């Protein structure tokens, strides 16, 4: 490291409290400066279990490791000697002190505003006792042109290029204000060959390092030929610079201005933007500080408007005297524009990867097929209407949405002995999480359990539309070795009817415009009951037939749409939604009862060879 410098083109930092934009801006700066390696060695995210964050280094995508603690990060990356702290003011003290105690950390930048003054004083004392540097609190950071920058310093990449910060100039700059620093980098790019190093010490009353600290460093850096200082009213920091100039510790030309001269126009004390920018006694005033700097030998303009001209004339004298050789301009390598920015600017066309036609969450509130959440809650909508909007992309008549709700209610559960509930119970008793219990139950749904609605609908539709007699329909399937989906029950029979089927039939005959498919299914049941008393129309078959009637008679679907709905498998989805309610209930019931691990009894197993 060159004497007096904080940074170099090899400097690497540990970034505390992950923020994507400032880290990416650092990497973009690295790339345009021609660095071979990233300036961010690691990211510390408190509580993280590790991993990586993906970012871009020029055209290439790189992975920066993430650690859960500063201790681990400093141990894994001993060459990273700068700690960039983006913690909030509530935790900035603890995290900064931990970094200062790390043997490998040399510079700590504290970005947060509002750090308690007693905490800042403690950090300053510890840093001075251990020969370390603090930038901040309440700072944007600092930059060494062509080498290294902290976080958001100097703003966007366009501003960095315009300020010539991608290559070193000849000016050392220090200020309290991060915003004014960015403005001054532009001024220096116009009036000189640009910045060599710039630091914003922060606007709090007690900065971790002072204006004079950095000016004294600049005095030792051979590449810095002149120093520019932008102070502000409040505090006595500028007087340290006055004493250094008077003592001959700083011999390079110093162009300085202290902002806040307008405070004299106010009758009472004025608090400007920074905590430390407060008009108080005469010595704290901008006028007194400017006068003291001028008397000490600094070059001070009559107003801020004259600052750029004074910087330019000072620079030109150094050039004419041969003390300064202007830095050559270097064309920075182009950085590809991020896809999101290019799309927003209309520069590229990118095909989408997902198409959605049922909802939109981009506005002030989500919509289900054009119906806002407010309308759903405040209007006469139920869960059947939500299903109709999201599944069928239309609002169905009230009798139809009520039918859907009836199906959900009736199919929600059928006791603990059916396969789906049994699986969910066993999984819950194994100590698994709720989602695992639900999925284990859902995986049993198929042709033999709850998944016959679609098959029943397909079979009934084909036969009814072909005007096939129930006998021909049943016997034709029998010859093919196909079971009649929707017919048959393990418990219910001719003399022990399924109440659910009865309720659905009664509702449909009362409210549906037509029950043609249901009537056909009942005629099939009449034929199958002649064969065996348990070959009744079950709830799957009843729902399948009634959905066909809903699709055909509601006037909401074309024949093509109705056929597509049956083919895709919409109807089994209704059973899945309904039965999920019961499966969750069984899983929670077992957990609530604290049931032990289930083991099937030996006596219920036939062991044979």
CA–CA dist 116, 112 (Å, integer): 11
Task: Sort 516 into a burial class: Cβ within 10 Å, 0-12 / 13-18 / 19+.
Answer: middle
Residue from 259, 255, 292 nearest 176 by CA? 259
Q: Which parts of 75-153 are beta strand (E)? A: 82-85, 107-110, 133-135, 141-144, 148-149
The Cβ of residue 600 has, within 10 Å, a number of other Cβ atoms equal to 8
Residue from 203, 189, 193, 190 nearest 233 by CA? 203
Q: Which of 77, 166, 214, 274 is catalytic?
A: 274
Task: Sort 587 into a burial class: Cβ within 10 Å, 0-12 / 13-18 / 19+.
Answer: buried
| DSSP letters spanning 193-248 | S-EEEEEE--SSSS-SS-HHHHHHHHHH-TT--EEEEEEESSSSHHHHHHHHHHTT
Residue 133's DSSP bridge partners are: 107
Catalytic residue check, 274:
yes
C-alpha distances (whole Å) from 286 to each of 236, 536, 545 are: 10, 96, 88
Task: Sort 350 into a burial class: Cβ within 10 Å, 0-12 / 13-18 / 19+.
Answer: exposed
CA–CA dist 435, 439 (Å, integer): 6
C-alpha distances (whole Å) from 435 to each of 24, 428, 575, 583, 588 are: 37, 10, 18, 10, 11
Sign of CA dihedral 24, 30, 31, 37: negative
Inter-helix orientation angle 499-511/539-553, to 10°: 10
CA–CA dist 25, 29 (Å, integer): 6
Length of the chain: 609
With residue 126 as reference, give the H or E element that holds it: helix 117-129
Catalytic residues: 274
């Amino acid at each position: 490291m060159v004497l007096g410098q904080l940074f170099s083109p090899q400097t690497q930092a540990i970034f505390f409290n992950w923020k994507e934009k400032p880290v990416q801006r650092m990497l973009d700066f690295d790339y345009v400066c021609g660095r071979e390696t990233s300036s961010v060695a690691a990211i510390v995210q408190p509580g993280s279990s590790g991993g990586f964050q993906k970012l871009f280094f020029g055209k290439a995508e790189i992975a920066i490791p993430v650690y859960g603690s500063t201790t681990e990060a400093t141990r894994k990356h001993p060459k990273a000697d700068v700690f960039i702290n983006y913690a909030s003011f509530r935790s900035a003290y603890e995290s900064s002190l931990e970094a200062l105690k790390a043997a490998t950390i040399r510079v700590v930048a504290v970005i947060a505003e509002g750090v308690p003054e007693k905490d800042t004083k403690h950090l300053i004392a510890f840093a001075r006792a251990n020969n370390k540097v603090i930038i901040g609190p309440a700072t944007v950071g600092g930059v060494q042109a062509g080498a290294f920058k902290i976080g958001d310093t100097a703003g966007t990449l366009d501003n960095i290029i315009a300020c010539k910060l991608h290559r070193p100039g000849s000016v050392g700059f220090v200020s309290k204000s991060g915003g004014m620093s960015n403005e001054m980098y532009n001024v220096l790019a116009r009036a000189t060959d640009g910045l060599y190093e710039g630091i914003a010490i922060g606007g709090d009353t007690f900065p971790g390092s002072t204006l004079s600290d950095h000016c004294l460093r600049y005095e030792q850096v051979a590449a810095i030929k002149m120093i520019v200082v932008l102070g502000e009213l409040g505090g006595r920091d500028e007087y340290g610079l006055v004493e250094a100039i008077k003592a001959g510790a700083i011999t390079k030309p110093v162009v300085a201005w202290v902002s806040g001269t307008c405070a004299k126009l106010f009758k009472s004390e004025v608090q400007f933007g920074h905590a430390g920018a407060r008009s108080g006694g005469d010595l704290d005033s901008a006028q007194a500080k400017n006068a003291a700097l001028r008397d000490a030998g600094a070059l001070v303009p009559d107003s801020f408007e004259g600052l750029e001209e004074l910087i330019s004339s000072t620079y030109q004298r150094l050039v004419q005297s041969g003390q300064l050789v202007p830095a050559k301009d270097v064309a920075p390598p182009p950085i590809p524009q991020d896809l999101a920015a290019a799309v927003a600017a209309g520069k590229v066309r990118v095909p989408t990867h997902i198409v959605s036609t049922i909802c939109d969450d981009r506005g002030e509130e989500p919509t289900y097929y054009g119906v806002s959440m407010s309308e759903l809650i405040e209007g006469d909508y139920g869960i059947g209407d939500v299903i109709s909007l999201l599944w069928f992309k239309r609002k169905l008549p009230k009798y139809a949405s009520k039918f859907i709700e009836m199906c959900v209610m009736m199919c929600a559960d059928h006791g603990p002995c059916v396969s789906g509930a049994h699986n969910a119970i066993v999984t819950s008793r194994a100590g698994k999480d709720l989602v695992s219990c639900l999925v284990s139950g859902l995986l049993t749904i198929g042709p033999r359990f709850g998944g016959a609605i679609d098959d029943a609908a397909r079979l009934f539709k084909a036969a009814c539309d072909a005007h096939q007699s129930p006998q021909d329909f049943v016997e034709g399937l029998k010859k093919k070795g196909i079971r009649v989906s929707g017919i048959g029950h393990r418990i219910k029979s001719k003399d022990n009817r399924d109440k659910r089927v009865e309720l659905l039939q009664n509702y449909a005959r009362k409210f549906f415009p037509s029950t043609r498919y249901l009537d056909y299914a009942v005629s099939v049941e009449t034929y199958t009951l002649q064969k065996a008393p348990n070959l009744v129309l079950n709830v799957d078959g009843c729902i399948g037939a009634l959905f066909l009637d809903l699709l055909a008679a509601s006037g909401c679907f074309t024949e093509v749409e109705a056929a597509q709905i049956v083919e895709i498998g919409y109807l089994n989805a209704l059973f899945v939604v309904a039965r999920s309610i019961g499966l969750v209930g069984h899983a929670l019931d077992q957990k609530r009862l604290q049931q032990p691990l289930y083991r099937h009894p030996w006596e219920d197993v036939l062991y044979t060879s």
